[in-house]
Chains A and B, each alone.
Chain A
Amino acid sequence: MSARTRELFGLIPVSLLVCAGFAAVLVAQSQQASDLTATYGAVFLGLCVFGHLFIRARLPDADPYLYPLAALLAAFGLVMIYRIDVELAREQAQWFVIGLVLFCATIYLLPDHHVLERYRYTIAAVGIALLMLPRFPVIGEQVNGAFLAVKVGPIQFQPAEFAKLAIIVFLASYLRDTRDVLVRSRLKPLTPTAQALLYGIPALFFLLLVLALGLAPVAAVLLGVFTLSAVSLVRERPSLKHFGPLLLIWGLAMLMLIVIRDLGSSLMFFGAFLALVYVATARLSIVGVGATLFLGGAAYLGTTVSHVQSRFDTWLDPFDPELYEATGGSFQIAQSLFAQADGGLFGQGFGQALLELPGGGTILPAAHTDLIYAVITDELGLFGAAGLILVYLLFVARGFKTALVASDGFSKLLATGLTAVFALQVFVIVGGVTKVIPLTGVTLPFVSYGGSSILANMVLLALLLIVSDHARRDRDRAGPGGLV
């Protein structure tokens, strides 16, 4: 069976899910399934098949599972949003159509992703500009204290969603070039004396600092990891010149915390950055230095910037009555947890979760965006939620598989970066909703309501498929015995 035929068959469960999901919601809301169900299902399936045919024509060798998995997530999201608000679902469906057009356009205009390497600095500049956009007067919009949105006329849009693609493309391309010079691979073994001095002095310094400042255990561990990583890194004698742009990225992530004031998106960006640096250089020391600097910066900002600080406090103690009552307090996360508790093992069923108060008003703020995972858990229970995570995991697995199969450095890094940022986005929002980390306003890819999110993720999918198409074609050409 060819890859494309497998892809087509993969769409069958998707169409079944759409029909079943809409039917369930309609039954729950009006006690009867109308012809509308079949219509919705058919239209969605038609769009999916159109996308499939386009891939068949342009990227015949691309991974057969990525597209159906994304369609599955989209279908699932559409059903959930339909259940929350019919009008929003209609808008979301329109965004999907536009997203599909953008998806096809990307594939059509970019037959070879290596072209992107040529424009890497332009792309980086565009990415940074996009990130800064919400801070500009007039068009910038502050949502819950974070600067994430841009509003032009009636259209609100989240530039960070696109910026993440730009940054990944830049990093993949930059690191492909410099990964061999960033650190030197073959090192002369040190004499015992030099080794003792190299590690002894910083260790002593570290101990003195811990004692002198009387640091808390967490801070001490952070400092310890930083010292150790920094020493290892210095020992590698990195090229400062080539580190410049990377330091810039670190600075950017910190700046994002200050400028955008959103912990979630900076965690997402910086995490993807570290993942890429690690894959490119295989040096844990860089990750250690980067991660400790980021966490240190985040902790510092968490105690100084009031918006970030309140996010921390509400995360630590969502059931504090005072925080619960405060505006922008812990009401949202507390309600998220209550909604999940209501779901239990099997959930209450499609359309059964409590979203609105009887007297009007909402009990689950931002149910269609930030908290959609809580609604899913409420209605489908632990099993439904775990199933969703599993679908994401399969998508991520296929993404990393693409990176493994790819033959050149840029393709590998690009696929890794796109997949990592996707996985991190899932982790940041689901982790926020389940109180693993502080809750921040990031969308759940393909599922949450939001035009920018859909468009950006459709482009992400297109890029992954392009990389995959090249990689698998190269592998097949190389014949059996290659990487799996």
Chain B
Amino acid sequence: MNRQIVQLFALTLVLFGVLIAFTSRWTVFEAASLEDNTLNRRGLIEQQQVPRGLILARDGDTVLAQSDPRGRGKQRTYVRSYPEGETFGHPVGYSYINIGEAGIERSRNDALTGDLNEFGTIFRELQSKEREGDDVVTTLDPAAQRQAMELLAGKSGSIVAVEPSTGRVRVMASTPSYDPNLVQDQRVFEALVEDTEQTPLFNRAVQTNYQPGSTFKVVTAAAALDTGKVTPDSIVDGSSPQTISGLPLANSGGVSYGPITFTTALTNSVNTVFAKLGEQVGTQTLVEYMERFGFYKDPQLDYPEDSMRASGVRNADQRLVTSGFDVGRVAIGQGGAEGQVQVTPLQMAQVAGAVANGGKLIRPRLTDRIVGQDGRVEEQIDPATQSQVMKPETAAELTEMMTDVVNEGTGTAAALSDVQVAGKTGTAEVRNETLNQVWFIGFAPVDDPQYAIAVTLEDQPIGTSGGANAAPLAAQVLQTLLGGG
């Protein structure tokens, strides 16, 4: 009988091994998918019982999101409230048990809930510390953000301002917006979701497929200058119309400039010059420079990935394409069914920022630091270079040219009395040329750039322009950011 008993023990070993194997399956190998299961509400319930950290503005003082206790004792839960309401609606987002999370609330969820890795949990256990969320100090400037939202009130559009040397996003305004305090009401939330006309839940700063118009000429100019195709003083042919890809292309208002310097061509936003230049630079090089500027991938922002959209040339199916399009028209921010430049305001602010920062593109970010409840800085986010877009000399040349745009060209409305501003305007005809998308991108001060900005407004009537309608808004926000609004 002993042999059978030993065999029976071997069988027990196998069966118990199966038990351990299945336990590891649920605890380790399939844990992530179980945690993501929609039936699994544990994460949300646990989060409700832990006070989330504060979300603060740049000054570390202005509260953008806080947790308010409800009930007492073991039944105590916390509910989020947003003192600034609609003003910071898009960047901050919301966090409610019934509808989930959005914005910084989502991208910094782990820090806000004090979620640690396995070892961190054990460490906290050993110190017998209560689980608590950390505070997130954002890069957002409360005064400038409020002003930007006021300037956009009643319109659809976006204003984004970044610090070129650090990537800190100082303003992320998008209208129409929503009040995150109200979306915890399921009906309000659903109404917002269903509003396809205004799309208030849509963050226009990072999610749009706007046509950049002539602001894209900055990208073309950077590629052309940096590859030595042209210098600021090169004489170029500004006559109109010219044949681009077999079709005639005219300048704005049909103005024919004749032989002019390249600087003058940017100052007056001469389409024919930049379209020809685009053809000279070629598709491959232009795409390469676009990629260096950050096009063709999601913004490298600490913001939920599925709430961002990559800028780039997209075909009629909204797919990103890197060849086969009309490079001449793309070079002036246009295109056709086989490829049209589509951008987000953040991307265009980054284009201005790269020029301002000596050609070096810094990764954008909304979080400055994460601070524990004891006041200790848990994590300081340092500037990270995304790419060297162009040579510093090229950036300097382009800065000078963009300064001329503000001083004597299309962008004079962006000028400030005591600070030199550089920039570029854009006016894209949309909806079968019945409406305009107006743009201004730029930075200031020119000699020591502190802020880069992109301003855009949707669906403005014919007769509007980036210079007249977007540039003044940029001037006001820059003034506020630079102090003494």
Whether A27 pairs with B128 at a CB distance below 8 angstroms is: yes
Bound-state CA distance A360–B73 (Å) is 12
Say yes or no: A338 contacts B34, CB within 8 Å: yes
- Of B12-20, B134-142, B219-227, B286-294, the one touching chain A: B12-20
Nearest chain A CB to B26's CB is how many angstroms away? 4
Query: Which one, B37-45, B188-196, B255-263, B360-368, is touching chain A?
Result: B37-45
The B contact surface, by secondary structure, is: helix
Contact, CB under 8 Å: B45 / A397? no
Q: How far is the CA of A342 from the CA of B19 in the complex (A)?
A: 18
List the A residue with the shortest CB-CB distance to B77. Answer: A358
Closest to A431 in B: B19
B-contact bits for A341-362, CB 8 A (1 contact / 0 none):
1111110110010101111100
Contact (Cβ within 8 A) A409 B1: yes
**Are B13 and A393 closer than 8 Å at their CB atoms?**
yes
Give A117 to B15 CA distance when docked, in angstroms.
31
A404 interface residue per 8 A CB criterion? yes
Contact B5 A400 (CB under 8 A): yes
B20-75 contacts to A, CB under 8 A, are 20, 22-28, 30-31, 34-35, 37, 39-40, 42, 45-46, 48-49, 71, 74-75
Partner of B19, one of A344, A359, A436, A483: A436
Task: Report B72-87 residues with CB < 8 Å from chain A CB.
Answer: 74-77
Minimum CB distance partner of B97 in chain A:
A358
Question: Is the CB–CB distance between A349 and B39 below 8 Å?
Answer: no
Verify A404–B6 contact, CB threshold 8 A: yes
CB distance from B414 to the nearest CB of A (A): 53
B2 within 8 A of partner (CB): yes
Identify A393's interface contact among B3, B16, B18, B125, CB under 8 A.
Answer: B16
Name the B residues within 8 Å of A423 (CB-CB).
Answer: 12, 15-16
Q: Which residue of A319, A343, A382 has the most chain B CB atoms within 10 A of its CB atom?
A: A382
A20 near B: Cβ within 8 Å?
Answer: no
CB-based contact A344/B39 at 8 Å: no
Question: Is the beta-carbon distance between A385 and B27 smaller than 8 angstroms?
Answer: yes
Cross-chain contact A338 with B27 (CB below 8 angstroms): no
User: Interface extent on A, as a size class?
Assistant: 35 or more
User: In the complex, are the beta carbons of B37 and A338 less than 8 A apart?
Assistant: yes
Interface presence of A377 (CB below 8 A): yes
Task: Decide if B42 touches A363 in the complex (CB within 8 Å).
Answer: yes
Residue of A nearest to B70 (CB): A358
Contacts of B122 in A (CB 8 A): 346, 349
CB contacts (< 8 Å) of A282 on chain B: these are: 1, 3-4
Q: Are B121 and A348 in contact (CB under 8 A)?
A: yes
Within 8 A of B (CB), among A254-270: none
- Whether a CB of chain B sits under 8 angstroms from the CB of A206 is no
Complex alpha-carbon distance, A321 and B122, angstroms: 35
| Neighbour of A397 across the interface among B9, B20, B34, B48, CB < 8 A | B9
CA distance A392 to B48 in the complex (A): 37
Given A341-B30, A389-B20, A393-B16: A358 touches B48 (CB 8 Å cut-off): yes
Chain B residue with minimal CB distance to A420? B8
Distance of B250 from chain A, by nearest CB (Å): 60
Main secondary structure of the interface of A (DSSP, over half): helix
Which residue of chain A is the closest to B124 with respect to CB atoms? A349
Whether A344 and B28, one on each chain, are in contact in the complex, defined by CB atoms closer than 8 angstroms, is yes
Report which of B5, B22, B28, B76 forms a contact with A345, defined as CB distance below 8 A: B28
* Chain A stretch 119-142: residues in CB contact (< 8 A) with chain B: none
Contact present for B48 and A324 (CB under 8 Å): no
In the assembled complex, B118 has its CB within 8 A of some CB on chain A: yes
**Which A residues between 384 and 414 are near B, CB-CB below 8 angstroms?**
385-386, 389, 392-393, 396-397, 400, 403-404, 409, 412-413
The reply to whether A404 and B5 form a contact with Cβ atoms under 8 Å apart is yes
Of residues 21 through 37 on chain A, the ones whose CB sits less than 8 Å from some CB of chain B are 27-28, 31
How distant is B49 from chain A, measured CB to nearest CB, in Å?
6
In the complex, chain B residues whose CB is within 8 Å of the CB of A278 = 4, 8
A389 CA to B128 CA in the complex, in Å? 28
Instruction: Tell me how far the C-beta of B95 lies from the nearest C-beta in chain A, rounded to whole angstroms.
Output: 16
Rounded to whole Å, the gap between the CB of A303 and the closest CB of chain B is 25
Query: A400-B8, A416-B8 in contact; A359/B75 too (CB < 8 A)?
Result: yes
A392 to B9, CA, bound (A): 12
Contacts of B75 in A (CB 8 A): 358-360
Chain B residues with Cβ below 8 Å from A198 are: none
Q: Are B23 and A377 in contact (CB under 8 A)?
A: yes
A361 CB → nearest B CB, Å? 11
Choose among B9, B20, B30, B118 the residue that contacts A400 (Cβ–Cβ < 8 A). Answer: B9
Contact B8 A279 (CB under 8 A): yes
Q: Smallest CB–CB gap between A403 and chain B, Å?
A: 5
Asked if B31 and A344 make an inter-chain contact with CB atoms under 8 angstroms apart, the answer reads yes
Interface residues in B116-147 (C-beta closer than 8 Å to A): 118, 121-122, 125, 128
Contact B77 A403 (CB under 8 A): no
User: How distant is the Cα of A105 from the Cα of B40 in the complex, in angstroms?
Assistant: 48
Within 8 A of B (CB), among A164-199: none
The answer to whether A338 and B42 touch (CB under 8 A), given A385-B23, A386-B20, is: yes
Q: Complex formed: what's the CA distance from A416 to B46 in Å?
A: 46
| B27 near A344: Cβ-Cβ < 8 Å | yes
- Point out residues on B near A: beta carbons under 8 Å: 1-6, 8-9, 12-13, 15-16, 18-20, 22-28, 30-31, 34-35, 37, 39-40, 42, 45-46, 48-49, 71, 74-77, 118, 121-122, 125, 128
Additional 9 contacts, C-beta under 8 A, given A275-B8, A377-B23: A340-B27, A344-B27, A349-B122, A358-B49, A358-B71, A389-B23, A396-B16, A416-B8, A436-B22
Task: Give 22 A-B contacts (CB < 8 Å), ordered by A residue.
Answer: A275-B8, A280-B1, A321-B39, A340-B26, A342-B42, A348-B121, A358-B76, A359-B75, A360-B75, A363-B42, A377-B26, A382-B28, A385-B23, A389-B19, A400-B8, A400-B9, A404-B5, A404-B6, A416-B8, A420-B8, A423-B15, A431-B22
4 tightest Cβ-Cβ pairs between the two chains A and B:
A341-B34, A434-B22, A340-B26, A341-B31
